[in-house]
Amino acid sequence: MSFNYQDIRKNFPILDQQVNKRPWVYFDNAATAQRPIQVIEKIREYSVLTNSNIHRGTHTHAIRTTEAYENARDIVRDFLHAKEREEIIFTHGTTESINLVARSFCEKYLNEGDEIIVSEMEHHANIVPWQMACERHHATLKVLPFADDGTLKTELLESLISDRTKILAITHVSNTLGTVNPIKEIIRIAHGHNIPVLVDGAQSAPHIIIDVQDLDCDFFAFSGHKIYGPTGIGVLFGKRFWLDAMPPFLGGGEMIDRVTFKKTTYNELPHKFEAGTPHYVGAIAMGSAIKFIQNIGIEKIASYEHHLLSYATDQMKTLENLKIFGESQNKTGVICFQLDQIHPFDLGTLLDQLGIAVRTGRLCADPVMDHFGVTAMTRASFAFYNTAEEIDSFVAALKRIRVMF
């Protein structure tokens, strides 16, 4: 493998520590990724040297901070291969991005009796905002199911679409099954009926090259903290046509053109959707995170992570009575599993004793739990700083723990 993870790990100081007297193995990357020193330094730099509110002052640091913030928008535009920088809206994260569309798009376009389609494998953040919109507008939420191997039943999409379908909201990569959905094909089908598509990219942006023009998606949402940036910052890409047509989401400073008590006119894109002081330090630091992974090469990252996924899957399959949920041919480095009859809470607790961090529980995806008839799962998820040696200790830990029961 041409990928030198040892050099890369040096950029992540947090990884070099012991937890419960053992070298820390961080396999909870799908929940949040760790930040490289470049991102940490950027946050420090802006906090120590430059902090000033953006888009307002005439003073040196206000101008510098504004430039850096707007530069981060260019970095994101480039990262998503969007046509225009005005199509990039900074939000708090994927959840806010989806809520923005569910609120503003639906306010304009969703009427009584209309329909919205989501998939069965969505994170709650891509279900609940649409359910709330449906309740507000007396519309119906329809669900595209997935097969037991974790692949989406795309062939059923046509039959779900009706002339009342207003928008389709679907995840690019499942946070539980790891499935990479055929999103381009799904968008093509939806567009055949003039239905716009929102793509939840929270789990894809860190692992796959995103080209919103090639996908032709109408909206794309992702979070800074899952791509090695800070928490509290995220992105909504929207095609200019939609963003221009949609009413503002939040009202306040920055998003206005002129305010009188009679009537307020709104600012142009992207500011129309960025009310209040944004998390500009977060946006600037997220820009550094994107630069960091671009410098390594997202294709290289994807291929190394795929190697980790295959290795982990093979090693885990040597254990009898270990069931993996989600066995799509096209997966990112996410493995949800059940070992013997051991409850995920027990397994997670004991893995932690061995210094290994995994996620357990319902994984913000109750419908996926219901699909498999389980109340919880254990999830190991990998990033490019993880190693085959860590997978070996993980599998050894599973063997050690199972004999305790």
Active site residues: 364
The answer to whether 266 and 256 have CB atoms below 8 angstroms apart is: yes
Of positions 350, 356, 380, 397, contacts other proteins by CB under 8 A: 350
Q: Is 355 in the site for other proteins (CB under 8 A)?
A: no
Of positions 16, 41, 67, 405, contacts other proteins by CB under 8 A: 405
**298 versus 351: smaller Cβ distance to other proteins:** 351
Q: Is 321 in the site for other proteins (CB under 8 A)?
A: no
**235 versus 336: smaller Cβ distance to other proteins:** 336
Q: Is 345 in the site for other proteins (CB under 8 A)?
A: yes
Q: Is 375 in the site for other proteins (CB under 8 A)?
A: yes
Contact letters (x/-) for other proteins, 20-59, by CB under 8 A?
x---------------------------------------
Contact range with other proteins by CB under 8 A, out of 179-187, 240-248, 271-279, 338-346 = 338-346
Least Å distance between CB 346 and other proteins?
5
Q: Is 346 in the site for other proteins (CB under 8 A)?
A: yes
List the structure tokens of 370: 């219901």
Q: Is 340 in the site for other proteins (CB under 8 A)?
A: no
**Long-range contacts made by residues 298-303, C-beta under 8 angstroms, separation at least 24?**
298/207, 298/208, 298/209, 299/209, 300/2, 300/3, 301/207, 301/384, 302/207, 302/208, 302/209, 303/3
Least Å distance between CB 128 and other proteins?
16
Least Å distance between CB 317 and other proteins?
25
Contact range with other proteins by CB under 8 A, out of 164-172, 288-296, 325-333, 353-361 = 353-361
Contact range with other proteins by CB under 8 A, out of 114-122, 260-268, 326-334, 347-355 = 347-355
Give contact residues for other proteins (rule: CB under 8 A): 20, 342-346, 348-350, 353, 360-362, 375-376, 404-405
